[in-house]
Amino acid sequence: MSKAAEELATAFGEADETVDLSGVIAKAWLALAFFWALGLTVFYQFITRYVFNDSAAWTEEIARYLLIATVFLGAVIGVAKNNHIQVDFFFRFMPTSVAHGISLLVDVLRIGFLGCASWMTWELMQKMGSYQMTIVNLPMNIVYSVVLLAFVLMTWRAVWIMRKHLRQGFSVLERPENN
């Protein structure tokens, strides 16, 4: 056996690192549960459609709603970690006071946007009333309640992040290496 092959073989024989899941937030576990439910629903749809040639009609609708829940809970995690896509290139060339003012404006606008989205989702839920899903006889407000919860959690985390930025005197836009 060659030297490279031996090194490769011994690399796989090394002890794995212990996995510590204690830092995983509850929202991530909930998003994972929705993701697995989505995967199982799509798998069931695949089996019924291509194996039994008799597709279960409800799977497409439920898969769509599970995907919505997964995406919105993932967005909550993105806000909580403050790692959504952001352009910090121009902040490197701005005077510190201007960069700080603009990053504060970004925090305020984010809170405003997420707060408005929360309110508008609530208003939509009120207007939907007892509207039912198309195929499954369940209220659509189940789906919108997950979206509302996600927007409220994102708003709360955005406020928390802004307070953190104010306490430390800079944001991740100003100093991306300190995130």
Least confident of 19-23, 38-42, 134-138, 163-167: 19-23
pLDDT digits (tens, 9 = 90+) for 43-59: 999 999 888 888 888 88
Structure tokens at 80: 């909580």
Report which of 145, 23, 28 is spatially closest to residue 77, judged by C-alpha positions: 28
The pTM of the full predicted model, rounded to 2 decimals, is 0.79
23 vs 60, higher pLDDT: 60
Q: Is residue 121 scored above 90 in pLDDT?
A: yes
Q: Is residue 163 scored above 80 in pLDDT?
A: yes
Least confident of 83-97, 114-128, 154-168: 83-97
C-alpha dihedral sign at 132, 138, 141, 147: negative
User: Would you state the pLDDT for residue 86?
Assistant: 75
pLDDT digits (tens, 9 = 90+) for 61-98: 999 999 999 999 999 998 888 777 777 777 778 888 88
Q: Is residue 178 scored above 80 in pLDDT?
A: no
The pLDDT confidence band at residue 177, using thresholds 50, 70 and 90, is low
The pLDDT confidence band at residue 160, using thresholds 50, 70 and 90, is very high
Count CB-CB contacts under 10 A for residue 7.
9
User: Would you state the pLDDT for residue 129?
Assistant: 84
* CA of residue 138 relative to chain centroid, distance: 25
Structure tokens at 30: 């909930």
In angstroms, the CA 83 to CA 80 distance is 8
Are 81 and 160 within 8 A, CB to CB?
no
Report which of 98, 87, 94, 75 is spatially closest to residue 153, judged by C-alpha positions: 75
Tell me the domain boundaries of the chain: 25-178
Question: 141-168 vs 96-128: helix axis angle to the nearest 10?
Answer: 160
User: Would you state the pLDDT for residue 99?
Assistant: 82
Inter-residue long-range contacts of 173-178, CB under 8 Å, 24+ positions, other chains counted? 173/86, 173/88, 173/91, 173/99, 173/102, 173/103, 173/106, 174/88, 174/91, 174/96, 174/99, 174/100, 174/103, 176/88
